[in-house]
Amino acid sequence: MAKNIVIVESPAKAKTIEGYLGKDFIVKSSFGHVRDLAKKGLSIDIDNDFSPTYEISSDKKALVSELKKLVKDADVVWLATDEDREGEAISWHLYEALNLEKKETKRITFNEITKTAILKAIENPRSINQELVNAQQARRVLDRLVGFELSPVLWKKVRPSLSAGRVQSVAVKLIVEKEKEIEQFKVSSFYRVNGNFVAKNGKLKAELSSHLKDEKEVEELLESCKNAQFKVSDMQMKSATKKPSAPFTTSTLQQEASLKLGFSVSRTMTVAQKLYESGIITYMRTDSVNLSETAIEGAKKEVIKSYGVEYSNPTKYKTSSSGAQEAHEAIRPTDFSVHSIDLGRDEDRLYDLIWKRAIASQMSLAELERTTITIDTDKISQHFQAKGEVIKFDGFLRVYIESSIDDEDDDTMEGLLPNVEKGEVLKTDVITATQRFTRPPSRYVEASLVKKLEELGIGRPSTYAPTISTVQKRGYVEKRELDGEERKYMVYELKNSSIQSTTKTEITGKEKNKLFPTDIGIVVTDFLEEHFSKIMDYHFTAEVEEQFDKIAQGLTEWTKMIHDFYNPFHSNVEETLEHSERATGERELGLHPTSGKKIIARIGRFGPMIQIGDEKEDGDKPQFASLRREQSINSITLEEALELFKLPRDLGEYEGAMLKANIGRFGPYIQQGKVFASIPKEEDPMTITYDRAVEILKAKLESDANKVIKTFSEDDTMQLLNGRFGAYLKIGKNNFKLPKGVEPENLTYEECIEISKNQKASGTKARGKKK
């Protein structure tokens, strides 16, 4: 047996490290956390200084037993989990769960998984940093308290099965506020005027110094320009430099990968984790832009070798954030001489981005020459201006150009301009006035939401991706695409002393991968904002993050911080439960044209819905209809609401049963008796034909037939089925995994009963019991 056991979080990391250490070391993975707050109840003793009750996760019990056996025979245990607070907490939980107080235990950390870094860490062990552990423990306890106390308020006052979280609720609020800004925005039009002029040495395009507000102003200006003589009244040339961006932090990597590669935040982190565990990049959860001296020297050698000494500019960047976590490095390659890798398409592209950003940060400034030419005439009060930019020395631009979240709105005209002289008379080719429109604020994409959270001091590198994933999984926010709509605009053109006007069309409001709040997201946010304004306050949420930082630095006791938070929060919860009204987002649309009953849009038990009538007012049972996926209770019209009550549509009989099209809680569907088949999202239940419905039904029946491997005469609720992750056993509403290596078609009824007895069930019935 090896004298040393090294424990890390992931098997990939374990495999890489094991290759660097000798036969005296065995490297094992904990597969993340082995302990967490117990699932049953609150698991926090509020009266005993918020003492948490931890339990070994059910899926980790066998692993912990295996690790205990290995630890028993080892001389030294090395805890080598990640260097941040989460990693420190994992090491502490391993120490507790494996009873390591009886063993020689050493804590080691490293910023990169290279042989040099691992051996250096072995030479410089330390003990577990309890202050870092307490910072993570404080976050976990606080988030459990908020979720445990706030979620039941939502169940009672809004809708069952909802959840709330300290950071997730604030993230949703940002998206809801943005949507309300957009709804309130009033579009106005103006005219942008450009002139194409011809000089002795070439053509140039210039823009009028101010926008025009309407057609009258456009016509007056173009009329004045008919016989005007334009000349160069001023020309300025200025030298300028452009400096590279700092190397990536977690948030800037997430933003740039979104803009350049189209990656979601979670996809970026998954790919970066693989690169880190393969020893190719440094640790990917960091808010530091710092590079080590070794890294700066390595980058310098590579820049000089690949591009020349004039491109080298070793630079040390400093992190501006006061809460930047524990002396981490920025995200960089572990070896700058490796320009590209071959691990997989996603990994290769993300590495290329990281390599270029890091190497560019150590390269020379780009040298530019910016030219501004002013063009005047005595016929109008405004002037035209042409701007150009020439790169004299490309410097870091040879490798990397940073993207901008806002560059979709960039209409500036910059390029190479011809040589002109002051006083030179220019020939007018054409002057064009194009109608443009003010734009509402842009909805967030994942990248811009991360940027906003970081600006507000909400969350830390380890929390951005989980927060954004959580708010989408819980149905408060969704990514949506809008096709946009056609809009007309006017173009006026002055050419050869003649003014022509043309009406053109364009598509406006097209959206892709933008974050939209759902109806339930808006209702929950409004409710929390009204009753828990402190929890929803951006500044307060940022202050809580600062408190975690102080705990990590040993400046604050974690239990005191929880005390200060909890007492007023708990009183707020009790007050709201007792005195607040239910929140449904109810909106009255009008009266039914025939019955005269009130029609309202609101949140119901299963989501957004329309209701006709009120049993208390009318004495009759109300009618209900679910909204379509693209509809909202905040914007649906009376006419659109009435259309929903035309469903279900009877399409005709098929094999002895009526075929119907309808909308339910999971979207539009076809129904024949007890068989339900989803209608594809691009098709409409209001217009779907009988023949198309039959096609969908047949495909569903065929899919279901292929799904069944075996049935049993002894119990008609028992089936062996093909699922998304392989074959499984279903008994009633409960699902059971099959043991490895079994052939499902050969299983007997008795063997299936035995399988069901030896494991916990999952499925709708099991989940219901758990509640």
**Pairwise CA distance, residues 553 & 150, whole Å:** 30
Residue of 629, 697, 700 whose CA lies nearest to 665: 629
Between 628 and 305, where is the model more confident?
Answer: 305
Residue of 193, 212, 199, 189 whose CA lies nearest to 494: 193
User: What residues form DSSP beta bridges with 485?
Assistant: 508
Confidence class of residue 15 from pLDDT cuts 50, 70 and 90? confident
**Pairwise CA distance, residues 59 & 759, whole Å:** 12
What are 260-298's pLDDT values in tens digits?
Answer: 999 999 999 999 999 999 999 999 999 899 999 999 999
Between 535 and 324, where is the model more confident?
Answer: 535
Confidence class of residue 62 from pLDDT cuts 50, 70 and 90? very high
End-to-end CA distance of the chain: 45
Confidence class of residue 204 from pLDDT cuts 50, 70 and 90? very high
Residue 767 has pLDDT above 50, yes or no: no
Residue 232 has pLDDT above 70, yes or no: yes
pLDDT of residue 1: 58
Residue 322 has pLDDT above 70, yes or no: no
Return the SS3 of 645: coil
Q: 26-48 in b/e burial notation, b at 16+ Cβ within 10 A?
A: bbbbbeebbbbbeeeebbbeeee
Between 80 and 618, where is the model more confident?
Answer: 80
CA 422 to chain centre: 52
Contact 273/16 with Cβ under 8 angstroms?
A: no
- Residues in Cβ contact with 375 at an 8 Å cutoff, skipping those fewer than 6 apart: 195, 197, 206, 230, 231, 232, 233, 383, 384, 385, 386, 426
Contact 1/23 with Cβ under 8 angstroms?
A: no
Confidence class of residue 326 from pLDDT cuts 50, 70 and 90? very low
Residue 515 has pLDDT above 50, yes or no: yes
Residue 707 has pLDDT above 50, yes or no: yes
Residue 629 has pLDDT above 90, yes or no: no
Give the start-end residues of each E strand in 574-648: 587-591, 598-604, 607-612, 623-626
283 included as an active-site residue: yes
pLDDT of residue 759: 80
**Pairwise CA distance, residues 579 & 179, whole Å:** 29
Confidence class of residue 323 from pLDDT cuts 50, 70 and 90? low
Average pLDDT over residues 613-634: 86
What are 148-194's pLDDT values in tens digits?
Answer: 999 999 999 999 889 899 999 999 999 999 999 999 999 999 999 99
**Pairwise CA distance, residues 218 & 500, whole Å:** 12
Where do the H-state alpha helices sit in 22-82?
61-73
User: What residues form DSSP beta bridges with 231?
Assistant: 376, 425
Give the start-end residues of each E strand in 509-547: 511-517
**Pairwise CA distance, residues 7 & 17, whole Å:** 10
**Pairwise CA distance, residues 385 & 204, whole Å:** 10
Strand bridging mode 511-517 / 425-437: unpaired
Catalytic residue among 95, 191, 276, 283: 283
**pTM strictly above 0.85:** no
Q: Residue 126: what are its φ and ψ, rounded to 5°?
A: -145, 180
What are 467-488's pLDDT values in tens digits?
Answer: 999 999 999 999 988 889 999 9
Tally Cβ neighbours within 10 Å of residue 311.
Answer: 20
Residue 32 falls in which region: left (phi positive, over 0), alpha (psi -120 to 50) or beta: left
Provide, rounded to the nearest whole percent, the portion of the chain with pLDDT above 90.
74
